[in-house]
Amino acid sequence: MPRPGTPPIPSVKHMNTALPTTIRAVRLDRYGSPADLEQHEVAMPIPDDHQVVVRVRAAGINRGDGLAIEGVPYAARLSYGLTRPKRPVPGTDVAGTVVAVGAGVTAWRPGDPVVGWASGAFAQFAVAADDALVAPPAGLAFEEAAALPTAAVTALQALRLGGVEAGRRVLVLGASGGVGTFAVQIAKALGAEVTGVCSTRNVSLVESLGADHVIDYTAADVAALTGYDAVIDLVGTLPLVRARRLAAPGGTYVVVGGGQARSLTGMRRFAGAAMLSPFGRQRLRPLFATPKREDLAQVLELVAAGAVRPSVEAAYDLADAATAVDFVHRGKARGKVVLVA
């Protein structure tokens, strides 16, 4: 029964409990830095016909969250909001339980556990499109599930773009980060021979993920490596004309990270890859990862089979979002960092 004084949420078909009218959320009304994030009481999100409301149990933090908070690359403000964020509550990656569904939703019911992409995930409740969610495998903790959507799907799409399959030699630059820890594990699950590149402090982490070889970039000259069928570059420190030679002739160099986000378009390295590709013996392919539910489902099958395990470095309380998002934004995370709400 609704609490006295709690108005029902309009357009909701199913609701498993009386929902509060206000919730705790992290909010930023102007572009700024992750350290500016503060917790506020905001209105409970209301689902439209094809949306659900998720009780957020954990929200994954991605490098893109910090960039959206800064409002860069600047051209992205055409969609983020020209002068201030259109969506002041950041966060996309979510794991939790459905508490309310829109009138047209048939796939989900209150009480269903879900993982996927939402709007305003850095909050106690978030709204998500009904087709942006997947059921997590039994036994997967919410903190682990929330680590998956953007990072694991980016890793899968990068490996696919690189033509990675059984027997191929794959080099992952940035193997210890959010995307890299998934790229190593998924490439191994596909049967590839995997070399991960990271710094000294992360060598044992990357080994523990199953990498066949680990190279410490503080001790070895990464630019001198060569002969890989696919290179997944999550870092972007080497100039492309030099970097492409890490791949064998006929191999593919996938540009994922290092897009100089604090610029007008953030596209220089990606555009450079597309332009340079025809003028050499290695393919250069920019990745623009997309949140595809089918790809998340594919990763979850690997998780259920025990082939992939999210590597969660830390879970912070929602109240500590500024510290957590700022930490990820600095680019030194080991695996994933999540918020628990």
Q: Under a CB-based contact definition with an 8 Å cutoff, are residues 272 and 260 in contact?
A: no
Query: Does the footprint of ligand NAP cover residue 151 (CB under 6 A)?
Result: yes
Could you write out the DSSP letters of every residue in 152-189?
A: HHHHHHHHHHTT--TT-EEEEETTTSHHHHHHHHHHHH
Of the residues 27, 57, 63, 285, which one makes contact with ligand NAP according to CB under 6 A: 63
Q: Which is nearer to ligand NAP, 101 or 235 (CB)?
A: 235
Smallest separation, CB 115 to ligand NAP (Å)? 17
Site for ligand NAP in 94-133 (CB under 6 A): none
Of the residues 3, 30, 109, 201, which one makes contact with ligand NAP according to CB under 6 A: 201
Q: Which is nearer to ligand NAP, 261 or 303 (CB)?
A: 261
Stretch that binds ligand NAP, among 94-102, 185-193, 255-263, 277-285 (CB under 6 A): 255-263
| C-alpha–C-alpha distance, residues 234 and 179, integer Å | 8
Beta strands in 44-129 (DSSP E): 51-61, 93-102, 113-117, 125-129
User: How far are the Cα atoms of 6, 47, 75, 175, 178 from residue 235, in angstroms, in the given order?
Assistant: 49, 38, 22, 9, 12
The CB-nearest residue to ligand NAP is 177
Instruction: Name the residue among 157, 175, 254 with its Cα closest to residue 216.
Output: 175
For residue 132 the two structure tokens come to 């942006």
Tell how far CA 225 is from the center of its chain. Answer: 28
| C-alpha–C-alpha distance, residues 336 and 325, integer Å | 11
Site for ligand NAP in 277-306 (CB under 6 A): 287-289
Q: Which is nearer to ligand NAP, 45 or 259 (CB)?
A: 259
Smallest separation, CB 321 to ligand NAP (Å)? 17
Residues lying near ligand NAP in the complex (CB under 6 A): 62-64, 151, 154, 173-174, 176-180, 197-199, 201-202, 217, 234-235, 237, 256-258, 287-289, 331-334
